[in-house]
A = this chain, B = another copy of it.
Amino acid sequence: MSGGATYCDWIAVDWGTTRLRAWAMRRNQVVAEARSDNGMNSLGKSEFEGVLLDLIEPWLGVGLTPVVACGMVGARQGWTEAPYRAVPCSPLAGSGVDVDTKDTRIAVTVLPGLKQNGPADVMRGEETQMGGFLFENPGFDGVLCLPGTHTKWAEISACEVVSFRSFMTGEMFDLMSNASVLRHSVGAGWDDDAFAEAVSETLSRPESVAAKLFAIRADTLLNDISKATAAARLSGLLIGAELAATRPYWLGREIAVLGAKALSEHYIAALKLQGVTAHYAEADAMTRAGLYSVHQTLSEAAE
């Protein structure tokens, strides 16, 4: 591959539902970064190429620059569909679907997501983070937790995703704190004790969660609890419900949490309350590592 005269060897792209991020890369090192709010949701099929070029044009040289992209860009409604691969399988196949671009300076590959037939589940983007984590921690055997809008839990064994489950915890927290009656109660800030108490209550009596959500509003009206306490309590109830459902995943297992720092810390704290120590890896770094591992494989195959 070229790379001497040009700005970068290749470009890593994480193209999700609501945002697009791109990194100019030299091998596994970031040279430059760019982002926009042009998520998959906001684009028609014909718009993807232009939106990407607007972002990465400054990085392109005279030669062909490989672009490796993951996320909802590969969905049916995305740029080019990269059909789901079925678990159990390795999170990354070392290949993807080539996109037919008009601009001949880029060679774009879109990575497929994963699906599970029973219980039905899907992911797009998280498989790349998992692949990145396994690329950097090749012997890992245990459970990966990827907190986010739709948190994923995956069981990893012998370099494969054996099974996974998705949770709407992040989206529920956003909707409940911004659009439900709890919007009057929940605000900025945090309360470690309120979070710990809510997680613990929920794990010991998971059937009680539904009764405790509206009580956050009532506690504001009757007991004037702070917005920070309400936020931590809501988060604790929802993460507690997720941990109650995933107990077979995390109980007695090696765990790594891959995500944004602040949210990951809540998960790690909640697990610690159950006596479980989880490792942490930053989500974007794992995404780039996953994309790099595929880029490497593609480059070797081309040589």
Binding site for B on A (CB under 8 A): 84, 115-117, 119-122, 150, 165-169, 171-172, 175-176, 179-182, 206-215, 217-219, 221-223, 238, 241-242, 244-247
The main secondary structure of chain A at its interface with chain B is helix
Q: Are A242 and B210 in contact (CB under 8 A)?
A: yes
Closest CB pairs A-B (n = 3): A206-B207, A120-B218, A166-B214
- Rounded to whole angstroms, the CA-CA distance of A225 and B215 in the bound complex is 35
- Rounded to whole angstroms, the CA-CA distance of A181 and B176 in the bound complex is 14
Q: Are B247 and A207 in contact (CB under 8 A)?
A: yes
- Rounded to whole angstroms, the CA-CA distance of A242 and B214 in the bound complex is 12
Residue of B nearest to A244 (CB): B207
- Rounded to whole angstroms, the CA-CA distance of A219 and B208 in the bound complex is 27
- Rounded to whole angstroms, the CA-CA distance of A84 and B246 in the bound complex is 40
- Rounded to whole angstroms, the CA-CA distance of A117 and B243 in the bound complex is 29
Give the chain B neighbours of A238 by CB distance below 8 A. Answer: 210
Q: How many copies does the complex hold?
A: 2
A49 to chain B, nearest CB (A): 25
Q: Are B180 and A210 in contact (CB under 8 A)?
A: no
Given A122-B221, A207-B247, A222-B115; A214-B168 close (CB under 8 Å): yes
Give the chain B neighbours of A116 by CB distance below 8 A. Answer: 218
Give the chain B neighbours of A219 by CB distance below 8 A. Answer: 120
Q: Are B150 and A168 in contact (CB under 8 A)?
A: no
Give the chain B neighbours of A208 by CB distance below 8 A. Answer: 245
Q: Are B244 and A210 in contact (CB under 8 A)?
A: yes
A129 to chain B, nearest CB (A): 17
Give the chain B neighbours of A121 by CB distance below 8 A. Answer: 214-215, 218
- Rounded to whole angstroms, the CA-CA distance of A84 and B222 in the bound complex is 10
Q: Are A223 and B181 in contact (CB under 8 A)?
A: no
Q: Are A179 and B181 in contact (CB under 8 A)?
A: no
Q: Are A211 and B179 in contact (CB under 8 A)?
A: no
Q: Are A180 and B168 in contact (CB under 8 A)?
A: yes
Residue of B nearest to A212 (CB): B119
Given A150-B214, A179-B179, A245-B207; A222-B117 close (CB under 8 Å): yes
Give the chain B neighbours of A218 by CB distance below 8 A. Answer: 115-116, 119-122, 166
Q: Are A210 and B169 in contact (CB under 8 A)?
A: yes
Residue of B nearest to A247 (CB): B207
Give the chain B neighbours of A217 by CB distance below 8 A. Answer: 122
Given A171-B180, A223-B120; A245-B210 close (CB under 8 Å): yes
Give the chain B neighbours of A122 by CB distance below 8 A. Answer: 217-218, 221-222
Residue of B nearest to A169 (CB): B210
A203 to chain B, nearest CB (A): 9
Given contacts A165-B211, A167-B210, A179-B179, 4 further A-B contacts (CB under 8 A): A121-B214, A122-B221, A165-B214, A207-B241
A-B contact pairs, 17 of them (CB 8 A): A119-B212, A120-B222, A120-B223, A150-B181, A165-B214, A166-B214, A168-B181, A168-B210, A169-B210, A172-B176, A172-B180, A175-B175, A175-B176, A206-B206, A207-B241, A210-B238, A211-B246
